Amino acid sequence: MRLAVFDDWRIGVVSGGGVSDITEALPGWSPRLGPSAVNELIARFDELRPDIQRRVAAQTPRPLGQVRLRAPVPRPTHLFAAPRNFREHQNEMHGPLSGGGGSAADLGFFLKATGAISGPSDAIEVPSGTGRRFDYEGEVAFVIGKEARGVSREHALEYVFGYTIVIDATLRMTETQREERTMRKSFATFAPMGPFVVTADEIPDPSSLRLQLWRNGAMAQDACLKDLIVDIPGLIEQASAILPLQPGDVYATGSPAGVGQIQPGDELIVEVEQIGRMVLPVRARAW
């Protein structure tokens, strides 16, 4: 199943080119829940699935072109990300701008502020006049389905609800400007997510997922999750040993090689065949 959030934080199931509104399958739903409602729907998904399927069968889907797609999980409790989790990307990130050595195996996770999340066709807004370099990093992300505390890698995939795509946009450091990673990666719109969450039953082997990213029409990233340094079960084992992962939490698995600069006027296309594609303009921030 492909889950989407659209318009005024409605929750939908996507099939073909249309979306069916299943928001009210969530008992006690009210507009007050806003962008957080989907976290609760994910937590109760197994129980709600029959009613969701009934609602999908009973309506004519609205064409996707008639709705505004939002991030499919707009307000997770945590937005985790793996630093340096592909060997070739680790190799391109040497030198003084990199913040030191290591990989996700010893560095663990970092957090992006959830307020940086934006939708799958929203612009990435780059602050102007900074003289600094901003980069894209295309990443496959997984979404947690139930609370995960101290989970071993053998059981880890049982805690995955589904998969989506995240761009981990980043302000690079300089020799003298060395801000915290969390702040450099948390500018508003620096975590485009989407277009959908595809449930895990449709992707039995996530290591087969292949991510491709084009900048201004030129392919820049092309990699398969089988080349992760720490695979998805390993990331869950590592993070769930630190704190309980919550239903709806999103974890970006790390960028492959081919990271590059973004500037106003650019266009990024990122695609994972089984998940979908995002087309993201880059603009100068207006504020």
**Residue 178 CA neighbour count, 13 Å, CB half:** 7
Q: How far is the CB of 224 from Mn ion (least distance, A)?
A: 17
Q: In terms of CB distance, is 66 or 105 closer to Mn ion?
A: 105
Q: In terms of CB distance, is 170 or 199 closer to Mn ion?
A: 170
| Stretch of residues binding Mn ion (CB under 5 A), selected from 27-35, 130-138, 152-160, 210-218 | 130-138
Residue 107 binds to Mn ion (criterion: CB under 5 A): no
Q: Between residue 234 and residue 273, which ones bind Mn ion under the rule CB under 5 A?
A: 255
Q: How far is the CB of 139 from Mn ion (least distance, A)?
A: 6
The pattern of x and - marking residues 137 through 176 that bind Mn ion according to CB under 5 A reads: x------------------------------x--------
Residues whose CB is less than 8 angstroms from the CB of residue 181 and which lie 6 or more positions away in sequence, other chains included? 83, 99, 110
Q: How far is CA 255 from CA 138, 165, 198, 244, in A?
A: 6, 11, 20, 24
Q: How far is the CB of 107 from Mn ion (least distance, A)?
A: 11
Q: How many residues bind Mn ion (CB under 5 A)?
A: 3
Q: Are 125 and 285 in contact (CB under 8 A)?
A: yes
Instruction: State both tokens at 179.
Output: 């801000």
Q: In terms of CB distance, is 26 or 143 closer to Mn ion?
A: 143
Residues facing residue 153 across a β-bridge: none
Q: How far is CA 126 from CA 80, 88, 129, 244, 286, in A?
A: 22, 26, 10, 33, 9
Q: Are 192 and 120 in contact (CB under 8 A)?
A: yes
Nearest residue (beta carbon) to Mn ion: 168
Residues whose CB is less than 8 angstroms from the CB of residue 206 and which lie 6 or more positions away in sequence, other chains included? 140, 142, 157, 160, 163, 200, 225, 232
Q: In terms of CB distance, is 90 or 255 closer to Mn ion?
A: 255
10 Å CB burial of residue 20 (0-12, 13-18, 19+) is: buried
Q: In terms of CB distance, is 45 or 80 closer to Mn ion?
A: 80
Q: How far is the CB of 278 from Mn ion (least distance, A)?
A: 16
Q: In terms of CB distance, is 2 or 181 closer to Mn ion?
A: 181
Q: In terms of CB distance, is 39 or 255 closer to Mn ion?
A: 255
Q: How far is the CB of 254 from Mn ion (least distance, A)?
A: 6
Q: Are 143 and 159 in contact (CB under 8 A)?
A: no
Residues found near Mn ion in the complex (CB under 5 A)? 137, 168, 255
